[in-house]
Amino acid sequence: MLRQAAEVAHVEGLSRLPLTCDDNNTGSATVVERYGGVLETAANDDGGVLRRRCWIERSPDRERPEGGGRRPPKTAPVDCTPTRREFAPLLAGNGALHSSFTWPAVSMTEPLRVLNPLWVALAFMEHTMSERLEQLESRKAQARSAGGEVAIERHHAKGKLTARERVEYLLDEDSFQELDMLNRHYASGMGLEDTRPYTDGVITGFGKIDGRKVCVYSQDFTVFGGALGETHGEKIHKIMDMATTMGVPIIGLNDGAGARIQEGVAGLNAYGGIFYRNAKASGVVPQISVILGPCAGGAVYSPALTDFIFMVKDTSHMFITGPDVVKTVTGEDVTLEELGGALTHATKSGVANFVMPDEKSVLDEVRYLLSFLPSNNMEEPPRILIGDEADRLCENLRDLLPVSPNQPYDMKKVITSVVDGGDYMEVHATYARQITCGFARIDGHSIGLVSNQPQVLAGVLDIESSEKAARFVRTCDAFNIPIVTFVDVPGFMPGVDQEYNGIIRHGAKLLYAFCEATVPRICIITRKAYGGAYVVMNSKSIGADLAFAWPTAELAVMGSAGAVEIVHRRDLLDSADPDALRAELIEDYEERYATPYIAAERGFIDDVIDPAETRRILSRSLDMLRGKREDLPKRKHGNVPL
């Protein structure tokens, strides 16, 4: 038995091949692990001769060990009598295989005095804790640089952090606990069996951001190009399940080349498991995707299912099919950056919520975003006070709006004047800019803001702005964040393209999102509130808890000029001076109808307020509504007009 054990140890360099001994006698048994292998010993109760049937699992292509010796069959049972003469040369001081070991010429069945079984067991266990820790550290050192130093240097040369460096930078210092560090794939074919790096190309674990628990996974481009295989996917499944079970945010740092081709359908199955978990976790815990390299093919759908997507300018790319495929199929010439770069997705497709110039700034932004969000849908967002008085007056707002209602102004100046410290984190800042959405705080409490932007297309609602705002409203509602709207909307965008592309259906998404939201909702009308667009923008008629208007507010079916043209069309045609009559009728319409006072008389708004008191009123109103409880009708789910 020991001869065969020595052969395995010699050939494998003290490897982890199993040695199993099957007891033919009755008596006590001891199981000893040596270098990950198994040695089972037993003796008669009187300590007599140890007789076994032993076998060793070995690959048939193993070389014969130095010093000769019979190579046993793959699973050949033999009768073994281990003796001191056979056992002694196996050890060198601390129990390691002696470098000068040679095979003694002893018959395997020679009846010699045997070793005490307990002595044999103890000898095989004779490794100090420091030696075992050295071996552990050696393995973990390999895992920490699983891709190799050359690949890491190439990665750094591109101005990119490694997967592990990203995690360490994102999380609080010394808070990361890695899981499955020593995982390796068990696939074969196309040479995969010869390359089995630790981590399998993804780092997973949990830690803290600003003292709050999070789960994180980070794909390692230096290992298989970050491509996802079965083990890689299972690690992500495991950490996503933990995040959902424990009710903490999940952050994915994506830098991979899609599914691992060598593993075939197993990789696709792993992707399906990720998508399934994304959908299950939606609205339960915040899900954040950070694109730090390529994200192509089916891999893009996991980020698309998450709540927020961050990208880095010039280094992040997302696309279903690359430029070569596009050219082959459609004949279009397009660069990688034009097709799926960060700016493309931030300005044209609306896929990216945030774009930053480098990796560290994007990870800083992730930390900042999490400060506005709760850990899960059963908690409230954290309160962060900065010393900004809740009752502070905003006197600059009295002079912000231009005299002419047709002149633009910057709604972001209204927002930053009202919120704590002027701190406003805009989401989708460069997409559908006629509406602005973002997070801020009032009296330390998180709020979500949805506001028309008169500086861009007069703040009109169209397909893109409706989708952008609807998505944001649903995110706020899912995570218990009150919604405040600043309204200055002249209507929906007219035009053939808008109608053909479904402005009715897409506009209904925003309407549905507000109607379904159960969080506290407050509406502030600053100027124009015309037609159906006013109703859609969180009006009191669709469930806003409180609605206020500035004295400059104009609540009407449409603008005064359009109303006069329709209502007084015949009078204008018959008039000798239609221009003078039109001006007179418009002035009369504005004074009689385009004011907030008729709406206040009817209770369609709760008060007309001094713009300077906007922050004070919002603070008091939000404090009152904080205990709001509203349940939707019992149902499986609503049918959103997707």
How does DSSP assign 1-33, residue by residue?
Answer: -HHHHHHHHHHHTS----EEEEE-S-SEEEEEE
Question: With the CA atoms of 559, 564, 566 and 571 taken in that order, what torsion angle do they form, in degrees rounded to the nearest 10?
Answer: -170
532 is catalytic: yes
DSSP 387: S
Ramachandran region of residue 377, left (φ > 0), alpha (ψ -120 to 50) or beta? Answer: alpha
The catalytically annotated residue of 298, 444, 531, 543 is 298
Q: How far apart are CA 550 and CA 526, in angstroms?
A: 5
CA atoms within 13 A on the CB side of 64: 7
SS3 339: helix
Spatial distance between the Cα atoms of 86 and 98, rounded to a whole number of angstroms? 13
Catalytic residue among 273, 283, 322, 532: 532
Enumerate residues 6+ apart whose C-beta is below 8 A from 89: 98, 101, 102, 104
Angle at 56 between CA 54 and CA 60, to 5 degrees: 140
Q: Where are the alpha helices (DSSP H) in 97-249?
A: 117-124, 129-144, 149-157, 163-170, 230-246
User: Of 378, 165, 179, 423, whose CA–CA distance to 286 is shortest?
Assistant: 378
How far apart CA 349 and CA 339 sit, in angstroms, is: 10
Confirm if 461 and 536 have CB atoms less than 8 A apart: yes
Q: Considering Cα of 86, then 89, then 93, then 99, what sign does the dihedral take?
A: negative
DSSP structural state of residue 262: G
Catalytic residue chosen out of the listed positions 67, 264, 297, 444: 297
Hey, which residues does 559 pair with through a beta bridge?
Answer: none
Strands 308-312 and 354-356: parallel
159 is catalytic: no
Which residue among 270, 533, 549, 599 is the active-site one?
533
Compute the C-alpha angle 119/123/127, nearest 5°.
145
What residue has token string 């006590």? 28
Tell me, yes or no, if 502 is annotated catalytic.
no
The per-residue b/e assignment along 482-512, b for 16 or more CB within 10 angstroms, e otherwise, is bbbbbbbbbbbbeeeebeeeebeebbbbbbb
Is residue 298 annotated as a catalytic residue, yes or no? yes
Which amino acid is residue 74, in one-letter code?
Answer: K
CA atoms within 13 A on the CB side of 319: 20
- Residue numbers annotated as active site: 297-298, 532-533
